[in-house]
Amino acid sequence: MSGVGGVSGGPPRSVRISGWGSYVPERVLSNADLERIVDTSDEWIRTRTGIRERRVAAPHETTATLGAIAAKRALAVAGLEPDDIDVIVVATLTPDYPMPSTAALVKEAIGNDTAAAFDIGAACSGFVFGYATADSYVRSGLARHVLVIGAELLTRFLDFEDRGTCILFGDGAGAVVLSASDEAGGGMSGLEMTTDPDGAYMIWLPSGGSRSPSSSETTSRGEHFIRMEGRETYRYATRTLAASALKAVEKAGWSPDEIDLVIPHQANVRIIEAVAKGLKLPMDRFFVNIDKYGNTSAASVGIALDEAVAEGRVKPGDKIVFAAFGAGFTSGAIALEWTADPADGARAASVEPVASVRAPLDWNSVDPMPPRLAAVLDDPDGPQVPLDDVVPGEPAHAHSED
């Protein structure tokens, strides 16, 4: 018997990462592309954020399909079958639908028949909050293997007329499998999580919830797009991220100089530099890949972990710290000891980057691509988007043919 509570044998001696994986869509959106959509420059984006490019999901992809590919890779690395998983946790702020959960769709896409599946909402801290949730299930003996996925399709929730947000975010997914182990030691030894509702409206998405259900009125006001107070969020992040990481490290009984690698949420390279200063650690102890993917919210720590392992930056016995912050305001950090063989990561290569979720029979879907973005993607060598020609809600493909 599998699923939550179906595990016999009681709590394990430790909870360890047994599998890891990620997926980013193929399509690259460069800063030069964004120069053709909004009033910005490659120089401004690089120097203020560290971002050079980000990925954009194809029209047939959804948050669940991105997450499912990352999940299948993590399963392959762990050497597990889909039905070995007892619980599937998806952290996302860009679910396929408000309901059902994206985790339910991922469960179907990976071919699991047994797991309990649910989403958690902690925005960019979602991977850390999801990891803590998964660790608790395994640690208590309620589950043996839990899949944690951070998956986001942010480019469909961005206002491509708002240069303060649309240059920052990208799409992707990262996943880990946490497993019960009979060996002592390893895994998470320090955890810190905070939520500060004073920051509730610093990053938010106004419509589509009980306070303001979506309507043509809310859409015409652009309330279906992410809004952000950049400077306030920046201040919060630089204050909180280092503090959270320090607390997790203290709880683990380590001193900061013992940390081998910090894998921080990739929101802005300047924020990561400020955290390095706060922890009095050199930048070479931080993993940075924001230049390639921008901010992928709940997916960013999982994607960064997968790349860090592939690049040989993580080895058994290393003291690793995950640290993230995001809307809510939320923040979280995990201090953990790495135990897995990095060479197992090669097994992910056997997983084709393909996943699909069932579409409802009576569904008359719209083109999901934001028109201003699609106009540039469809015509990579063309001139600047003729801004007034792009009608919100109308497929941009029509315009590129004009």
Burial (0-12, 13-18, 19+ Cβ within 10 Å), 273: middle
Q: Which residues pair with 22 in a beta bridge?
A: 174
* Chain CA centroid to CA 248, Å: 21
> Parallel, antiparallel, or unpaired: how do β-strands 87-91 and 145-153 relate?
parallel
**Contact status: 233 vs ligand UT7 (CB under 6 A):** yes
* Chain CA centroid to CA 249, Å: 23
How many CB atoms are closer than 10 A to CB 183?
Answer: 10
Q: Which is nearer to ligand UT7, 264 or 371 (CB)?
A: 264
**Contact status: 254 vs ligand UT7 (CB under 6 A):** no
The contact pattern for ligand UT7, residues 48-67, with x = CB under 6 A and - = no contact, is xx------------------
Count the residues of the shown chain that bind ligand UT7, applying the rule CB under 6 A.
Answer: 19
**Contact status: 195 vs ligand UT7 (CB under 6 A):** no
Residues that are catalytic: 124, 265, 295
Region from 209-217, 224-232, 308-316, 329-337 binding ligand UT7, contact rule CB under 6 A? 224-232
Compute CA distances 387 → 39, 85, 162, 384, whole Å.
11, 48, 13, 8
**Contact status: 237 vs ligand UT7 (CB under 6 A):** yes
| DSSP assigned state of 11 | S
**Contact status: 231 vs ligand UT7 (CB under 6 A):** yes
**Contact status: 204 vs ligand UT7 (CB under 6 A):** no
**Contact status: 40 vs ligand UT7 (CB under 6 A):** yes
Which residues in 77-144 belong to E strands, given as ranges? 87-91, 116-120
How many CB atoms are closer than 10 A to CB 26?
Answer: 10
**Contact status: 326 vs ligand UT7 (CB under 6 A):** yes
Among 102, 112, 133, 268, binds ligand UT7 (CB under 6 A): 268
Q: Which is nearer to ligand UT7, 188 or 301 (CB)?
A: 301
| DSSP assigned state of 198 | G
**Contact status: 298 vs ligand UT7 (CB under 6 A):** no
Q: Which residues bind ligand UT7 (CB under 6 A)?
A: 40, 44, 48-49, 124, 163-164, 167, 203, 228, 230-231, 233-234, 237, 267-268, 295, 326
